[in-house]
């Protein structure tokens, strides 16, 4: 397609950028005003309006959509606006700048957001859905931090109201439960894992690699020093960045403070996009028009699933896709701004396209996140502004913006030029499908045994509170994450020797995995104990009745909700039960007459990470590969959420006539992930199960019996008597045959084809025919006497 066409020949729906603006405020500026987010953003917006060459009021009247990049103050469930903020940021900024947009949008979290918004609203403009859009973002983290230390704190709260399309966090896949459990939940730790893997792949020593990171970023500081919006004007040498010192401490292996994104900034940027037709009607000079020649938006697999921790092919593919769409190569690009939160975010792309640190074009147009500033999710809006201004200075040249979000998780690219070009349809979906076909690494959540280090991170490596985390591989090739323990291992991770490939020994618990350098040290730190019953339990009542074990969840004041402590005790009790040869049947119930269990104790779980869970699942039952002996659930009231999931993991459910069953998780923003989503559709008609899961609908005892969820109903208050009767019936049968039947049914559940399952089930006879209980059962039948089972 010919890009060298006159602007007059361009389709009037073609999207263009017609105005860009930036603003910044430093604590040591003579005119520092402690501006809040909306006020500083408004300055950038006014600058973008002025950049169009029109009167600001005329531009404000044109704007149909105002879209804000999400600030760090509301980028995750854990974030908060400590000094307050407007309830509707797009409309707060609109009010300050004379706009009354039809639609206000707040984008999801991620540094890809500014470029993604350009491509998204470029597509909407091209489709005729809108013809004038304002994009903006702002961070005032420096002001907030300073103000929190003062007695005179400003209040940025503001009630604006009005329509707002809040797209939420959008952070699914950016971290995982396992990473949070092991302290790898901040970008600094996550990126260092990727960086250490890259260093190892390249075969560089730590000193060599540090020097390379310094050489990559040093030229950026020179560009930042000339940028009037930068947070610093200091120029650094490669050694200044890479060599640790009193004012450049190691914050993480392998990073010093000067090699990572700067977050103490007050910066804002804005972009005005219109259609060509709207620009013509408004009289915007075509010399101000900048076209998007190529673009792409792609995603990477979650970090722990990536085949190679040292690379993110989605970012490379995004750049390639955008260049291909533009019909140019990297050599044709005149200016670049590659997202530079950490060195690997730049080198990941630079490696693929042969870009050198001293490339005369520079790898950043702003000065990079560590030196220009890393204004949260909005950094690349500044990159776009600089690239647009550069394109105007050199008409016909091309500029490229690479915007990164998450942990090399999302990558959005734009190729810009003043040369007119028609709008092109996105090809990102097809490329994404190809990326998604790449294999992923299976994860072992509870790691035990010998493994090797695949990568690692250590926070605060030169302090007494240093904390290390290892990503490793077990003998079966699965990947695990674990906390590094022992001085020897931490010294290895922090020292000059390459620890990747070294053998470590892992052990799991409900809270986390740990690794040490030797098995002896692991046994000393975390000795294994044989399954046994405790003398006393805090949350349970445990009683033996002959060969029957009765376990009562004893938390009636919380409707027998399951806390991390309850989970741990139940897990230990069932371990001991399955190991005890003289116990053949177990009954599980709840104290009182109100509830079997109301599920997860959210209040108790919220006191810590809320992520403590035995390897064997909720109550030590829901995630077991096999439950080898009979467990009867005696449901005496509510069995809700995790309570129902526990009951579903038992072999038989008997219910009090007042019992109630349900999975209400969706009503509190959760899901029944401890087995309910899997077991309930297998236990009930699928339509009914979906109804219960998606609405929180509850079943009473009669409905549960009618649909086969429970096997027997007891008169009110007699559920334990009924359960004991079922246990006695099981005790009258051969324990060996009962256990063999349980294991065979479990195997059949995992085999979808019925005929195959039936044929495979015949293998159980090999076990049963040699059982002493089988001989005893036949002899007792012949001799017309009760059998004397041995359990073998």
Residue 639: name the closest of 690, 705, 589 by CA. 589
Count other C-beta atoms under 10 Å from residue 760's C-beta. Answer: 15
Q: DSSP letters of 620-688?
A: GTTT-S---S-EEEEE-SEEETHHHHHHHHSSEEEEETT-EEE--GGGGT---TTTHHHHHHHHS-HHH
Catalytic residue among 665, 703, 728, 776: 665
CA distance 632 to 655: 10
Contact 15, 275 (CB under 8 A): yes
CA distance 349 to 343: 11
Contact 702, 652 (CB under 8 A): no
Cis peptide leading into residue 254 (ω within 30°): yes
Catalytic residue among 521, 645, 729, 767: 645
Helix (H, G, I), strand (E, B) or coil at 104: strand
Catalytic site residue 179? no
Contact 392, 418 (CB under 8 A): yes
Catalytic site residue 61? no
CA distance 272 to 160: 23
List Cβ neighbours of 224 (8 Å cut-off, separation of 6 or more).
Answer: 230, 231, 232, 233, 364, 366, 367, 368, 371, 372
Contact 242, 208 (CB under 8 A): no
Q: DSSP letters of 283-349?
A: T--GGG-EEEEEEEEEEPPPGGG-S-TT--HHHHHHHHHHHHHHT--GGG--EEEE--SSHHHHHHH
Burial of 235 (0-12, 13-18, 19+ CB in 10 A): middle
CA distance 34 to 54: 29
Residue 14: name the closest of 459, 425, 623, 579 by CA. 425
Helix (H, G, I), strand (E, B) or coil at 383: helix
- Alpha carbon 564 to its chain centroid, in Å, reads 22
Contact 115, 415 (CB under 8 A): no
CA distance 570 to 172: 31
Helix (H, G, I), strand (E, B) or coil at 512: coil
Contact 242, 254 (CB under 8 A): no
List Cβ neighbours of 772 (8 Å cut-off, separation of 6 or more).
Answer: 736, 790, 792
Active-site residue numbers?
A: 645, 665
């Amino acid at each position: 397609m010919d890009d060298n066409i006159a602007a007059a020949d361009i389709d009037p729906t073609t999207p263009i950028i017609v105005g860009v603006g930036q603003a910044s405020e430093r604590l040591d500026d003579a005119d520092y005003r402690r501006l809040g987010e909306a006020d500083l953003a408004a300055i950038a917006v006014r600058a973008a309006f002025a950049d169009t060459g029109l009167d600001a009021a005329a531009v404000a009247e044109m704007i149909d959509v105002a879209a804000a990049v999400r600030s760090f103050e509301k980028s995750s469930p854990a974030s908060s606006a400590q000094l307050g903020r407007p309830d509707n940021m797009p409309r707060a900024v609109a009010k300050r700048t004379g706009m009354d947009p039809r639609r206000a949008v707040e984008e999801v979290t991620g540094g890809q957001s500014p470029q993604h918004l350009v491509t998204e609203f470029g597509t909407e403009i091209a489709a005729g859905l809108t013809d004038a859009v304002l994009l903006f973002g702002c961070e005032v983290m420096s002001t907030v931090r300073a103000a929190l230390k003062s007695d005179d704190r400003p209040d940025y709260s503001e009630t604006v109201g009005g329509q707002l399309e809040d797209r939420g966090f959008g952070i699914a896949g950016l971290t995982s439960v396992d990473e949070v459990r092991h302290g790898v939940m901040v970008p600094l730790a996550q990126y260092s894992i990727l960086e250490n893997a890259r260093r190892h792949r390249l075969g560089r020593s730590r000193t060599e690699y540090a020097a390379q990171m310094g050489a990559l970023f040093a030229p950026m500081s020179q560009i930042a020093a000339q940028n009037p919006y930068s947070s610093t004007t200091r120029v650094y040498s490669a050694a200044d960045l890479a060599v640790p010192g009193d004012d450049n401490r190691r914050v993480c292996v392998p990073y010093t403070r000067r090699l990572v994104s700067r977050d103490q900034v007050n910066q804002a940027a804005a972009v005005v996009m219109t259609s060509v037709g709207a620009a013509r009607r408004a009289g915007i000079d075509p010399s101000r028009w900048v076209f998007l020649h190529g673009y792409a938006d792609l995603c990477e697999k979650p970090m722990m699933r990536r085949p190679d921790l040292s690379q993110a092919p989605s970012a490379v593919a995004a750049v390639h896709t955008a260049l291909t769409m533009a019909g140019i190569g990297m050599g044709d690009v005149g200016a670049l701004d590659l997202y530079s939160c950490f060195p690997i975010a730049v080198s990941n792309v630079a490696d693929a396209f042969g870009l050198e640190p001293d490339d005369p074009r520079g790898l950043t147009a702003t000065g990079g996140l560590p030196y220009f500033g890393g204004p949260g999710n909005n950094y690349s809006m500044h990159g776009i502004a600089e690239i647009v201004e550069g394109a105007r200075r050199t008409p016909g040249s091309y500029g490229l913006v690479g915007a990164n979000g998450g942990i090399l998780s999302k990558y959005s690219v734009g190729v810009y030029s003043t040369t007119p070009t028609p709008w092109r349809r996105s090809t990102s979906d097809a490329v994404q499908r190809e990326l998604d076909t790449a294999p992923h690494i299976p994860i072992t959540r509870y790691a035990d045994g010998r493994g090797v280090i695949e990568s690692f991170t250590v926070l605060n490596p030169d302090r007494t509170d240093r904390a290390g985390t290892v990503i490793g591989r077990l003998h079966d090739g699965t990947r695990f994450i674990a906390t590094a323990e022992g001085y020897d291992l931490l010294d290895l991770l922090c020292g000059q020797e390459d620890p990747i490939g070294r053998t470590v020994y892992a052990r799991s618990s409900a809270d986390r995995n740990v690794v040490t350098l030797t098995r002896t040290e692991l046994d000393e730190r975390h000795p294994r104990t044989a399954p046994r019953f405790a003398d006393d339990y805090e949350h349970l009542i445990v009683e033996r009745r002959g060969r029957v074990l009765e376990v009562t969840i004893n938390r009636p004041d919380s409707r027998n909700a399951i806390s991390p402590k309850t989970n741990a005790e139940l897990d230990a009790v069932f371990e001991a039960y399955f190991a005890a040869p003289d116990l053949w049947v177990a009954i599980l119930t709840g104290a009182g007459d109100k509830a079997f269990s109301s599920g997860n104790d959210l209040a108790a779980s919220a006191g810590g990470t809320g992520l403590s869970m035995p390897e064997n699942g909720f109550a030590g039952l829901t995630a077991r590969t096999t439950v080898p002996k009979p467990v009867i659930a005696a449901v005496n009231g509510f069995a809700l959420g995790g309570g129902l999931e526990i009951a579903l993991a038992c072999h038989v459910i008997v219910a009090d006539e007042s019992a109630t069953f349900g999975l209400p998780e969706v009503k509190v923003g959760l899901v029944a992930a401890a087995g309910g989503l899997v077991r309930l559709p297998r236990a009930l008609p699928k339509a009914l199960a979906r109804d219960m899961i998606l609405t929180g609908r509850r079943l009473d005892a009669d409905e549960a019996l009618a649909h086969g969820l429970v096997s027997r109903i007891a008169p009110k208050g007699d559920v334990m008597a009924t359960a004991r009767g079922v246990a006695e019936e099981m005790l009258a049968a051969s324990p060996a045959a009962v256990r063999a039947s349980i294991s065979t049914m479990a195997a059949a559940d995992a085999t979808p084809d019925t005929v195959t399952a039936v044929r495979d089930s015949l293998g159980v006879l090999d076990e049963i025919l040699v059982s002493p209980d089988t001989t005893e059962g036949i002899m007792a039948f012949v001799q017309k006497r009760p059998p004397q089972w041995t359990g073998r």
